[in-house]
Chains A and B, each alone.
Chain A
């Protein structure tokens, strides 16, 4: 009898209903395990309870709690809302924002077990990853992202008031079209979004102070005769070409844009840059969060802090999350990042605890190393999806998943099985899977290569074609139109095979169809 009372006293909660006291109690219990036992290092958290409607709201604007206004977010909301109302999709249990403090949205409909799971997943798993992963450290500024978004929202609203909603919409439409090509891939300086707002003011002040109407009256230098190619190299150097960050290039060099238009481009670029690490670490990020919640929930159950029933409920939810249908399953829609990330991390733990001969051969560093937590933490800190898979996907897991690699060549009639889960194929399958997560391979490599300054100021872009994969024409024409509108003059794009510099396809002189500014 006494034992039962003791057991009950240890329980964090018993029923499915939650209240703030229970949530707080569960959070503290999770924190003891995550921080004291596992040694995780998350941001402080702010748990926010929201309704399903607010969840849809958050979905619509890239998951961010506040954002500038744009019709495309309204479109996504309209779609998500309909799908949700008709029961075609469920909503996520949680949304987590890479900010300091780390914002976690949890839904009011969740049961207490789900709230516990979600907190372990987001407030500790994701939060630890955000705070410690190199990419996030280099590219995002968790301290001031929310302030920056607030600034962006107000700035865009101010522009709408001053220059009209339509003018702002045009710039944002164009900027969104170029968003995937608005990131710096190589760090230049640490980002400080707080400084961003001051820099905006400084740039404007500088412009105003150095403005002199006299410059306008100076006679323009006429191109000298016979000056046919006025030094391509010099020109490219002056313009900082080639440049792969199209938004950056336009913000700095587009001749016709007004100050506020450049600032809007900058805002979209900053947001794109903020999300860049997330796009590169989907598997790892979810893998880390899933692994952390799995460890914590197991520990809570072991120590008698949650009931068997709650643990079963957790396992049910967890199994759904890491479910990976096979390729010929009707439900298959690609590889589930939760499943892959969780699979690899659990496999690393197994190798630490029960290594096989094969493991020792493939992973001499981690096989038999009982400090699997240390292995995990260094992986979470140093890798992104591509390198993580390349480094840690084990033959055993490939066999378990029965992974195989298929080549789909548009010139061939059949698909070809390149490699399967056997001794001869492990490396090939692993390399191919890693490449699948390499954004640089995934996204077309497009750069600004030249501007025809002496002629019609045409902007020339180059797509260096990989594996013969050309751009999709309809989209490309629309994006080029947006680009031309921002640039103010015609834009051309050539698709070049990097192996022999052959021109494979070209979009000539896409003219702007609107005047901006």
Chain B
């Protein structure tokens, strides 16, 4: 007696609940690992696919009473004796297990480490827990950014183009049935009968009756139209607001000599986080890299982070470049625009007024959000920089702007969290 069952269509993720329990348990370690990974990737590469996670096994061991391998006496029986005789002594091989044990696990992981992979979604969830772009929720809901149309049932009026034939004919049919509109076949049949009687000339009584009936039917079918205006149904469409599903992220960075490699690395991490964040919320995210010294230019990522430039420091050309690019390629009605600026805070003092002017009148009105991080090397004092001072005034006026100082790698994540934590959750 046997039954054969196909279980392949059963729900697959039977162990999902266990997996979630596991991830919850190892959360702290996993978060550390995720942060570490984000440091080693290109801006657009983070969270591209599955990630291998290595975490310390603290709190993940499943202990049991077991015997120590280093004490007492053990006896093994093994196959493959070549030359040993009873009583032979074999020097103890390194590694305790006498060269017979599993010589290191195949994964190359130590006892104190646990390795596994997380899916892209899990990775990003971990990455972004409790992070929320503040303006995002509001702007997405309140600002109708584009009109779209959507089917919304049927209506009795409309343009001929949106006539719904199926509905209309269904109504017509039921009306014709209900009112007993004579069918074409019935009339044809009658005609044939009349014709036959006329030719034979027999039974004039019946002929007369039939002619009368024929007239009644004709009148009836004229009174009850095949399609009546009350049968008509039209597809109905309603306009709906459709949020813009694409975003562009402008990365502005000062690359003059005063920015060290370390500072650029800090900035890179910030851009990376911002990119990931936007990527999660928009179907499509573009990145524009604009570097500047006293002149500004759009470059690719490699050049942006790793080539050196010399020159003075002017911020306004970068803002102008951004404005130009927006005008050329990213119409604010089609794109959500974000800007992230990283700098050591230097600016030529004479440029400050221009920067404020540009930001207030040109850049900030275009942007959903403008983030400024000031990277600096650790030093004993904190002098207020040019940019910091002028930006602070802008923030105070309530522009969609945020600014933070970052000194070391470990600062990046908290800063990001800080910048984008919804205000109501902030202490």
Which A residues are within 8 Å of any B CB, using their own CB? 20, 23-24, 27-28, 31, 44-51, 53-54, 56-57, 60-61, 69-75, 77-79, 81-83, 85, 88-89, 101, 105, 108, 123, 165, 169, 176-181, 324-330, 332-335, 401-411, 413-422, 424-425, 429, 432-433, 435-436, 443-444, 446, 463, 465-476, 478-479, 482
A329 to B101 Cα, complex, angstroms: 11
Known: A50-B7, A414-B92. A74 touches B22 (CB 8 A): yes
CB distance from A139 to the nearest CB of B (A): 20
Give Cα distance in the complex from A432 to B67, angstroms. Answer: 18
**B200 at the A/B interface (Cβ < 8 Å)?**
no
Contact B21 A472 (CB under 8 A): no
B116 in contact (CB, < 8 A):
yes
Q: Nearest 5 pairs between A and B by C-beta?
A: A326-B80, A74-B22, A468-B72, A469-B72, A74-B18
Distance between Cα atoms of A468 and B73 in the complex (Å): 6
Give the distance in Å from the alpha carbon of A47 to the alpha carbon of B73 in the complex: 46
User: Do the beta carbons of B17 and A404 come within 8 Å of each other?
Assistant: no
Q: Which residues 40-88 in B have Cβ within 8 Å of A in the complex?
A: 52, 60-82, 84-88
The reply to whether B18 and A60 contact each other, CB–CB distance below 8 Å, is yes
CA distance A324 to B3 in the complex (A): 35
B68 CB contacts on chain A under 8 angstroms: 469-473
Contacting pair B62 A404 (CB below 8 A)? no
For the complex formed, measure the closest distance between the CB of B101 and the CB atoms of chain A, giving whole angstroms: 8
Interface residues of A, dominant DSSP? mixed
Chain A hits for B98, CB < 8 A: 406, 408, 415
Neighbouring A residues of B1 by C-beta, 8 Å: 44-45, 101
Q: Looking at the complex, which one of A60, A407, A421 makes contact with B81 (CB distance below 8 Å)?
A: A421
> Is A404 a contact partner of B64 (Cβ separation < 8 A)?
no
Known contacts A83-B107, A413-B92, A414-B91; A324 and B76 CB within 8 A of each other: no
Residues from chain B with a CB closer than 8 A to the CB of A24 are 2, 4
Q: Which of B17, B23, B75, B84 has the most CB of A within 10 A?
A: B75
Closest to A415 in B: B90
CB-based contact B67/A471 at 8 Å: yes
Q: Are B4 and A49 in contact (CB under 8 A)?
A: yes
Complexed CA–CA distance, A382 and B114 (Å): 42
Contact B80 A329, beta carbon cutoff 8 Å: yes
Q: Is the CB of A57 within 8 A of B73?
A: no
Of the listed stretches B8-16, B278-286, B294-302, B336-344, chain A binds B8-16
Given the complex of chains A and B, what is the CA–CA distance between A418 and B88 in angstroms?
A: 8
Taking a contact as CB atoms under 8 Å apart, the answer to whether A46 and B71 are in contact is: no
A414: nearest chain-B partner, CB-CB: B89
Distance in angstroms from A240 CB to nearest chain B CB is 20
B219: interface (CB < 8 Å): no
Question: CA–CA, A260 to B165, complex, Å?
Answer: 64
How far is A416 from B85 in the complex, measured between Cα atoms in Å?
A: 10
- CB contacts (< 8 Å) of B79 on chain A: these are 324, 326-327, 335, 401-403
Bound form: Cα–Cα A425–B80 in Å: 15
Q: Is there an interface contact between B21 and A478, defined as CB atoms closer than 8 Å?
A: no
Bound CA–CA A77/B2 (angstroms): 30
A478 in contact with B18 (CB, 8 Å): no
Please report the C-alpha to C-alpha distance between residue A446 and residue B102 in the assembled complex, in whole angstroms.
Answer: 28
Extra A-B contacts (15), CB below 8 Å, given A335-B77, A408-B74: A49-B6, A54-B10, A71-B21, A82-B116, A83-B107, A89-B106, A328-B99, A406-B98, A414-B89, A416-B90, A417-B84, A435-B75, A446-B65, A471-B67, A474-B63
